Amino acid sequence: MDLQEIEQFGRKYKAYVSPDEQTGAFVIVGPPEGLVDTLSLPEPFATTLHNILYERGIFTYADAAKKNVILGALQEALKIDAQKLAEEFLKYEKVTT
């Protein structure tokens, strides 16, 4: 079996794929199939987050447990700049006080 990128329903996976094209057999390495679905996220956000996990190589709990890895993936999926958000809070408080 060859390690390849596969795509199902718009979601990318790293998988071991059978060289026999007729069987189409594969074993997913990561990200875990259905993982983001357990979070009850709406589409297309769930697929976007899944693909970000794929691109960043976050396939296991050990990968996810590294410092700020999950935070970075969520920020990318939400397209939020944490520094920009903090600056906006500062601006807002200066105007309202």
pLDDT value at position 22? 65
Contact 76, 49 (CB under 8 A): no
pTM above 0.85, yes or no: no
8: left (phi over 0), alpha (psi -120 to 50) or beta: beta
Segment 48-58, tens digit of pLDDT: 999 999 999 99
